[in-house]
Structure 1
Amino acid sequence: MSTSPARRRQLRSWSPTERREHLQAVAAGSKHGSATGPALLDLASNDYLSLCRHPCLIAAAEAQLRNSGVGAGGSRLVSGSRPVHAQLESELACWLGRDRVLLFPSGFQANLAAVSALANRHTTVVADRLIHHSLLVGVQASGARLRRFAHNDLESLERLLLRSRSDRPQAPLLVISESLFSMEGTSPPVHDLAALCERHGAHLLLDEAHALGVLGNGGRGLGFGEERVTMLSGTFGKAFGSGGAFLACDSERGEKLLQESGAFRYTTALAPPLAAGALAALELMRANPDWGHQLVLRGDNWRDRLAEAGWARPKGRGPILPLIVGDDQHCLKLQHQLELAGLLTAAIRPPTVPEGSARLRLVLHRCLPDETLESLLKALSDALAA
């Protein structure tokens, strides 16, 4: 293996003691040491609304665990369907204003299914250059021709759509983007993007994995209310604090997924306790529609303060704040120094991000203590001074 030391990936696991003390520290608004080292304040995970340990989710998952067991035991079309699956699909469809929702065990799997449902070897796919790897794998599996436009650049997209129509006038067109890019923290103008797709007769697949629960009206994503978005994909492993994923679309495409999608038909159904947890999270989001907006405002403040401290202001709006460092080894060293200060961050390096753009991916969560930003700014200042 020729991977350089600065780019070798390592698995990190927290012991139950570390995890428990971390959660206690968050709840108490402080950090506590432990026999295994300091409790780290989480600035890395995608648990944006701090729901993964919420009592309502735990209670719902425990009740479903006792009622249905740990796993579903089969695919949805054999023996795996449970009432909680149908209820979650129905409630999500209503919340998102879509005709049909289908559940999947993972976001990766849902994206494979989405691309396969909308593209084949006759299709030209025009995708944002920074879309998630799962979407690229889906394009490859579909056999479609792939063209990639500059990140969130609608002029670049339109040039490629015009060229694609000129090269293959009868070929179906599919545009793929995300509503919140996980490593950039940026979002496209979804309304303008959808209008452009409509103008050129292209379907639009929008990955809402990181936006749901945070961005848009009541946290319902940036595609909410935009009927020109052909299909939405979303996950429960981020703001929902659970696991699994879904696709949302119209009735016709939902039925096609049910009848033809191998990624849906030939896999064990989403574990019922995870579905129950996601349903409980959805109920909390409905009851607290301002949670996401509050997080967005907090993100704006963090961006301003980081810029005042001399860092390039992280782009976009929302809970993902990439702090561009550049050099891989420097980024890893900065991550380590922040850990010594009790802050857990993630050093993101190529090939996940472009060459020369290694970064600390800072993530905000609803229940972070108020003093977290001051702790971060001090730790960054001390690290650079050292």
Structure 2
Amino acid sequence: MRDQAFPIHPARRRRLRSWDSGREPWQLRDPSGTRQLLDLASNDYLGLSRHPTVVAAAMEAMASDGVGAGGSRLITGTRPRHLELESGLATWLDRNRVLLFPSGFQANIAAVTALSERHTTVLVDRLIHHSLLAGIRTSGARLQRFAHNDLQDLDQRLQRLKHATTTPLVVTESLFSMEGTSPDLKGMADLCAHHGAHLLVDEAHGLGVLGPEGRGLCHGLRQPVALVSGTFGKAFGSGGAFLAGDNTTMERLLQTSGAFRYTTALAPPLVAGAQAALNLIQSNPTWGSELCQRSESWRTALMNQGWPRPPGSGPVLPLLVGGDQDALDLQQELEQAGLLSVAIRPPTVPEGTARLRLVLRRDLPEGTLEQLLAALCAR
């Protein structure tokens, strides 16, 4: 009955797969068999989710504070470790204040609704994350999309809003997770300042990897960046999210945001894991740049083998295939070679652009690139 109620082409039907941890942090094991797969799919860019220091911090917090917070931040959910992480992040990012959220999806909804209402025009990159679109729908704002990373298109659209009665909001990401691309954020910020628009930047995939010492591409940009959104489920290897901004905007979020006030506080073990990860990233400021340098050698090698050079300069390298079934077939071929890279299909990406999303991790063993090239060459 479910298949009849939701008719989906077989090549586009999603299914859940579970994974056991492998012997190494960069391995996953299919619980239905004994095959160990090298993980080229997750967002654990710095390999911190199983780092001994991060794991130990989470275990200590669980023993002392419990598994869950037991209440919202404004009731009984706030622990000293929440305030410590918020303060540390604000200093690291050079922002006035930070608030933690249980998820990036929740944080993005809170960010958009804090900066827009039904009379606001929100201009978003055409490839923006679904959570930000959900925030726009929640706020009731007017949506306009501009071409991906196209400042000229954005400029023209902002010019047409020069007589708007409310401040426009521009929304983008620092690293687009399915494209591997990044905008010219300095140029975008200059445009927003010129036209009197606010700028919201989702740094979920950029923090820990891009920018000076992994602090993201917004670091050093002040006005008109109204809010920076970030998560701990990627490079930080933990879970949860945060928003960073000036004192006025953050106080308004604290006082009015339902997404912050009416939810259980971020679990103490995740807070502790994120704090340990932040300490590690601060102590190893070249991790992100080294990972980006490695990704450049991968891009060159893939191009030399006949693939279109994956765009961008970060650790996300899309291999464009085109058809949904072709992408699924290539995923299976790589799995047979011991490599896990998941086929990404519409509606996550535009029609006709199904792809394999290769993700580099800092802890990938030597020889991984050669193993990948051999598997791709054999098809």
Matched position secondary structure for 1:164: coil
Matched position secondary structure for 1:37: coil
Equivalent residue, structure 2, for 1:348: 344
Distance, in Å, in 2 between the alignment partners of 1:240 and 1:33 is 24
Decide whether the 8 Å contact of 1:234 with 1:247 is kept in 2.
yes
Distance, in Å, in 1 between the alignment partners of 2:295 and 2:285 is 17
Equivalent residue, structure 2, for 1:126: 123
Decide whether the 8 Å contact of 2:19 with 2:30 is kept in 1.
no
2:19 pairs with 1:14: yes
* Structure 2 residue identity aligned to 1:125: V
2:238 pairs with 1:238: no
2:311 pairs with 1:306: no
* Structure 1 residue identity aligned to 2:247: S
Point out the more displaced range, 308-317 or 1-10: 1-10
For 1:97-108, list aligned pairs within 5 A.
Answer: 97-108=94-105
Structure 2 stretches lacking a partner, 5+ long: 1-5
Decide whether the 8 Å contact of 1:314 with 1:322 is kept in 2.
yes
**Pick from 267, 275, 280: which aligns with 2:276?**
280
Offset of 1:164 from its aligned partner? 2.4
Matched position secondary structure for 1:177: strand
Offset of 1:34 from its aligned partner? 9.3
**Pick from 4, 9, 19: which aligns with 1:4?**
9
Decide whether the 8 Å contact of 2:18 with 2:30 is kept in 1.
no
Distance, in Å, in 1 between the alignment partners of 2:82 and 2:111 is 19
RMSD: 1.4
Distance, in Å, in 2 between the alignment partners of 1:35 and 1:66 is 33
Matched position secondary structure for 1:278: helix
* Structure 1 residue identity aligned to 2:165: Q
Structure 1 stretches lacking a partner, 5+ long: none
Distance, in Å, in 2 between the alignment partners of 1:100 and 1:366 is 30
Change (3 A) 1:35 1:251: closer
Offset of 1:69 from its aligned partner? 0.2
Offset of 1:81 from its aligned partner? 0.4
2:36 pairs with 1:39: yes
Matched position secondary structure for 2:61: helix
Matched position secondary structure for 1:176: strand
2:326 pairs with 1:330: yes
Matched position secondary structure for 2:169: strand
Task: Give runs of ≥4 in structure 1 deviating > 4 Å.
Answer: 31-35
Offset of 1:171 from its aligned partner? 2.5
Distance, in Å, in 2 between the alignment partners of 1:351 and 1:202 is 30
2:205 pairs with 1:210: yes
Decide whether the 8 Å contact of 1:331 with 1:360 is kept in 2.
yes
Change (3 A) 1:32 1:121: closer
Change (3 A) 1:169 1:54: same
For residues 228-249 of structure 1, the C-alpha deviation after alignment (integer angstroms, 9 at most, x for no partner) is: 2111000000000000000000
Residue-pair matches, total: 373
Decide whether the 8 Å contact of 2:343 with 2:356 is kept in 1.
yes
For residues 355-379 of structure 1, the C-alpha deviation after alignment (integer angstroms, 9 at most, x for no partner) is: 0000000000000011000000000
2:314 pairs with 1:318: yes
Matched position secondary structure for 1:52: coil
* Structure 1 residue identity aligned to 2:94: G
Matched position secondary structure for 2:161: helix
Normalised by the size of structure 1, how large is the TM-score?
A: 0.95
Decide whether the 8 Å contact of 1:22 with 1:41 is kept in 2.
no
Matched position secondary structure for 1:102: strand
Decide whether the 8 Å contact of 1:21 with 1:34 is kept in 2.
no
Decide whether the 8 Å contact of 1:327 with 1:357 is kept in 2.
yes
For 1:54-69, list aligned pairs within 5 A.
Answer: 54-69=51-66
2:164 pairs with 1:169: yes
Distance, in Å, in 1 between the alignment partners of 2:41 and 2:203 is 19
Distance, in Å, in 2 between the alignment partners of 1:45 and 1:33 is 15
Decide whether the 8 Å contact of 1:323 with 1:362 is kept in 2.
yes
Decide whether the 8 Å contact of 1:243 with 1:278 is kept in 2.
yes
Change (3 A) 1:58 1:189: same
Offset of 1:163 from its aligned partner? 1.6
Matched position secondary structure for 1:126: strand
Distance, in Å, in 1 between the alignment partners of 2:102 and 2:16 is 22
Decide whether the 8 Å contact of 1:22 with 1:40 is kept in 2.
no
* Structure 1 residue identity aligned to 2:193: E
2:261 pairs with 1:265: yes
2:153 pairs with 1:156: yes
2:186 pairs with 1:219: no
Change (3 A) 1:209 1:380: same
Offset of 1:317 from its aligned partner? 0.5
Q: How much identity, in percent, do the aligned residues show?
A: 62
